[in-house]
Amino acid sequence: MPKLTEVSESSAHVGLTEALPVVAESTTSRVLVNNDLLRVVQFTFDEGEMLTEHASPRAVVVQLVSGTMRFTVDGVEHTMGEGDVIYLAPGARHALVADTACRMTLVMVDTTA
């Protein structure tokens, strides 16, 4: 389990491009913030990598930092480019396929806290 990040303490996460590079034929991730209210995770995907359909009990905001991907939400596919954002309601089924090498930031928010 990633280290708990106190809600009352600020934090900075810099140099992520170097610290979390895109790895050939891989999906990688690093948890940046993790507490009772939210979790922030940065992912990298090599071209062709995917996440199969799943859901989160939390509300989720996904922002594509670089690259292009196809992101499916409740059966509807969206082509995402750099800077694009998708909001997922709690329980929304979703999946993705990286069309190019990608970097994505995911923020999960606990709507019950």
For 84-113, the pLDDT digits (tens) are 999 999 999 999 999 999 999 999 999 886
d(CA 59, CA 23): 28
pLDDT for 113 equals 63
Q: Is residue 9 part of a domain?
A: no
Q: Is residue 87 part of a domain?
A: yes
Q: Is residue 33 part of a domain?
A: yes
Q: Is residue 3 part of a domain?
A: no
> In the predicted model, what is the mean pLDDT of residues 1-8?
80
pLDDT for 51 equals 97
| Domain ranges, residue 37 | 29-109
Q: Is residue 7 part of a domain?
A: no
pLDDT for 1 equals 58
Report the domain count for the chain. Answer: 1
DSSP the chain: -PPPPPTTS------HHHHS---TT-EEEEEEEESSSEEEEEEEE-TT-EEEEE--SSEEEEEEEES-EEEEETTEEEEE-TT-EEEE-TT--EEEEESS-EEEEEEEE-TT-
Residues 6+ apart with CB under 8 A from 93: 53, 54, 55, 73, 74, 75
pLDDT for 94 equals 98
Q: Is residue 22 part of a domain?
A: no
Answer whether residue 22 shows pLDDT above 70.
yes
Q: Is residue 17 part of a domain?
A: no
Query: pLDDT per residue over 47-83, tens digit each?
Result: 999 999 999 999 999 999 999 999 999 999 999 999 9
Q: Is residue 67 part of a domain?
A: yes
CATH number of the domain encompassing residue 73: 2.60.120.10
pLDDT for 2 equals 67
pLDDT band at 3 (very low <50, low <70, confident <90, very high): confident
